[in-house]
Homo-oligomer: A and B are copies of this chain.
Amino acid sequence: MNDKTNEDLNLKAVFLGPKSENKNTFEKYLKMMFEDHSEWRKNYHPEDKEIINRKEKRTEDFQESVDRMEDVLKELSIRLRSQSLPWHSPRFLGHMNSETLMPAILGYFGAMLYNGNNVAYESSPGTSQMEEEVGEDFAKLMGYQDDIGWGHICADGSIANLEAIWYARNIKSLPLAMKEVAPELVEGKDEWQLLNMSVKEILDLVEKVPDKLDELKEHSAREGVEKIAKLGKWIIPQTKHYSWLKAADIIGVGLENVEAIEVNEKFRMDTELLEKKIREFAAQKIPVFGVVGVVGSTEEGAVDDIHKIIEVRDRLAKEGIHFYVHIDAAYGGYARSIFLDEDFSFIPKDKLKEKYKEHGVILDPNTKWPEDDTYEAFKAISEADTVTIDPHKMGYIPYSAGGIVIKDKRMRDSISYFATYVFEKGMDIPALLGAFMLEGSKAGATAAGVWAAHRTLPLNITGYGRLIGASIEGAMNLYEYLSDKKFVVDGKEIILHTLIRPDFNMVDFAFNEVGNTDLEKMNQLNHDFYEEASYVRGGLYSNDFITSHTDFAVPDYGDSPFGYVNNIGISREEWDKVQKVTVLRACVLSPFLNDKKVFAEYMEKIEKAIQDKLQKIYNDKKINK
């Protein structure tokens, strides 16, 4: 199908397929995983007798219980089939979903039978080891140093973000603890200086007093509000994902200390404003303990200019102002694999096109991606202190699988908990993961699923890079195809206006009737469209095209959407009055829409579905009148 070498993964071989094309393959390995487990049970002490015998199985009592289980499973199947989203079809272009990877599903299923608990190595030697390997994969993906970077799987992106702010809060408070516990380490530093130290400086100092580690931790922010109160502000982009408000609430720094920086017309954090704001705070001696950059915003797929955030950090550091940097790449994290060569080195910008051609990452060389800023942003992730990455988004792993990556393993001590007396022995805990993370018990199966996916698709341009490439190319195809497309309903022209050229794989758009200058009317049209293109009115299994929607409203977006609506014909006055624009939102995760033939086939169907839905909306309006 293209020039890729045989080392490159064929994406069509690792998904079940929209029409279950790989059904036999799936079933073969499903059976294998189960059979292996079943025989493993039987052969653990083969001399042990059966406990459930045939005679008992024939009793009415036994059969009735089996019947009940069958009834339940059948009801479950009915509910699933009638009330689930058809993610698997390219007709679904809404939330961050599509098919998930066969090796991940089969790996999860296989490991679920053994039911390891990765809270402790003792309860899951096999899957704990896999999680450790996945953590190494994550660290390599982010460009962190081998054996220094580290990562683990967690429940989801909200938990990863919460863990990150926990890291930042506790580490940034350690110098205050030093002042009390080991003042010699920070001699001559005033409180402002203590609160403006880098993670590396702090960890290097902690390492000098290993005996005082426990006491230092006791006097850090984990002690209570006194230290927390001094840390200052936590900065996020204005489009603030609700997980960040939750996280600031939970972690005790409070919403009063969350500072939102406006986004620009590309929906990226305005880094000039960021620098200005931090300088303003500094002038008032208010520290900033951390800044969040977003790689793949949930509503626009925008990629913040991480390289510019890092530049701000480095510039201010020279003036004695230092903040922790966390990257919320829950959505976009896996996309860094599209920039990594077979040896996991970051591919030079001028080699990208050639590499993409060689490995079949982008099929059409005219595809306009990435922008320079996007390239630089992904590159600069390696400079951040922590990164959130969700395997259940662009890792094509079933829910729930989040992840967090840290730049320096030593950071773990700032959040760890275990009974000291256990450590006196120094032998009991080869890997008590539960001591080094926010959660406790956790499925070994999740690690197995992610591990199986990573082993099948390396996190570089031969594996995940190809998958991400297919997704992005599909999104670019969609963007080009939909932009300014005209529909005619009852003689009225309706134009589909795309929001921005996507930084990643999300295409936002809105319909407006030609000549309409009423924003509420436009919003109503798009909201009606959403209802037709979702379970609300359009149905699920019976629906021809499914998408999602979002609102850009002034409280979260400021003026950033104005340029867009203004181009569509909405005046300044109208925008200031309505303060909100409803848009439709298509995450293009399908791995098959980079194929021009498949794309053309589905676009014909989707275009017809859009036409039908618009027609229905206009018909309904007439009835309502």
Contacts and interface: CB of A to CB of B under 8 A. Distances in A.
B224 A69 contact: no
Nearest to A597: B51
A568 interface: no
15 contacts: A10-B64, A13-B69, A22-B57, A48-B89, A51-B592, A51-B595, A51-B598, A65-B456, A79-B130, A97-B115, A155-B439, A158-B441, A242-B434, A390-B441, A399-B442
A434 B257 CA distance: 23
Interface centre among A16, A40, A440 (most CB of B within 10 A): A440
Interface in A94-145: 95, 97, 100, 102-103, 105-117, 122-127, 129-130
A157 interface: yes
A38 B31 CA distance: 15
Given A122-B548, A399-B441, 6 more contacts: A21-B53, A45-B605, A72-B452, A73-B107, A83-B127, A246-B438
A413 interface: no
Given A157-B440, A251-B252, A13 B51 contact: no
B438 A73 contact: no
A559 interface: no
Interface string A521-536: 0000001000000110
A21 B81 contact: no
A14 interface: yes
Contact of A253 (B88, B252, B555): B252
User: How many of these chains are in the complex?
Assistant: 2
Interface stretch (A189-197, A368-376, A416-424, A481-489): A416-424
A85 B123 contact: yes
A34 to B, nearest CB: 6
A38 B20 CA distance: 6
Contacts of A33: 73, 77
| A-side interface size class | 35 or more
Contacts of A222: 249, 254-255
Interface in A382-437: 390, 392, 398-400, 402, 415, 417-422, 425, 434-435
Nearest to A39: B20
Interface centre among A90, A159, A541 (most CB of B within 10 A): A159
A250 interface: yes
Interface string A443-468: 11110100110011000000000000
A548 B17 CA distance: 44
B89 A45 contact: yes
Contacts of A15: 52
Contact of A18 (B26, B41, B228): B41
Given A30-B34, A48-B18, A438 B224 contact: no
Contact of A52 (B17, B69, B116, B580): B17
A530 to B, nearest CB: 9
A229 B218 contact: no
Interface in A37-66: 37-42, 44-45, 48-53, 56-57, 59-66
Contact of A255 (B42, B87, B224): B224
A64 B4 CA distance: 13
Contacts of A26: 34, 38
Nearest to A224: B254
A155 to B, nearest CB: 4
Contact of A69 (B87, B103, B129, B228): B103
A455 B77 contact: no
Interface centre among A80, A108, A127, A555 (most CB of B within 10 A): A80
A181 interface: no
A109 to B, nearest CB: 5
B107 A76 contact: yes
A566 interface: no
Interface centre among A16, A228, A400 (most CB of B within 10 A): A400
